[in-house]
Amino acid sequence: GSSRVERARPPPPRAACAQPLAWRLSPRAMARATNTLLVAMPPGVELHALRAVFERFGGVRGVGAVPGDPEQVQVTFYDIRAAACALEALGSTYKRCVHGPQDGARTVQLAGAVPVKADYLPAISGIFYQGVMDGNYVVEFFDTRDAAQFQQDVGDDAQFVTDKEVVARLRPLPPGARPAPGEADE
């Protein structure tokens, strides 16, 4: 019975997973990406040590046990790019490391007449109109903090979309295109 506590394995150097990962992800991978990872908890590693490993990839909102599964931990990032980067770099390091369910809203629905300020464009992972109520569109952010700030800035003209079935039906708006009246489906 050893009481020795092992340290979590360190991640690769930060440069190995710099920001450009988001642009290397295919549209399909981006669509599957969430801000959470489900990780098999290595024996003897404490949560704070595991958190420190994952914080090397970006802001971590929380690390906690998965209810009903004491051998698994949910690591929740603010940004899906950080989660994707951590998964790419550490996925084979742990016995199990996969995307978990999205935790926190990063999708905002707007009336068609509400513009998106150019300042927000680098923070947006997608703009969708198909699968949205007629005349509206949805802006999806990489980071839950950016989505919250955007929703606060826009006010009553924006609502978070949290229904997973609605989010799954969204289709991208082609670059430079605007939907014609009545073109959105629902």
Residues 71-109: b if buried by 16+ CB within 10 A, e if exposed: ebbbbbbbbbbbbbbbbbbbeebbeebebbebbbbbbbb
Helices (H), 6-139: 21-24, 27-32, 47-55, 80-90
pLDDT of residue 117: 86
User: Does residue 30 have a pLDDT over 70?
Assistant: no
Phi, psi of 44 (to 5 degrees): 80, 0
pLDDT of residue 9: 45
Which pTM value belongs to this model?
Answer: 0.73
Report the candidate in 166, 149, 171, 167 with the shortest Cα–Cα distance to residue 158. 149
Mean pLDDT (whole number) for 60-74: 91
pLDDT of residue 176: 56
Model pLDDT for residues 131-158, shown as the tens digit of each residue = 566 778 888 899 999 999 998 888 877 7
Structure tokens at 162: 């949290």
pLDDT of residue 13: 41
Evaluate whether 179 touches 137 at the Cβ level (below 8 Å). yes
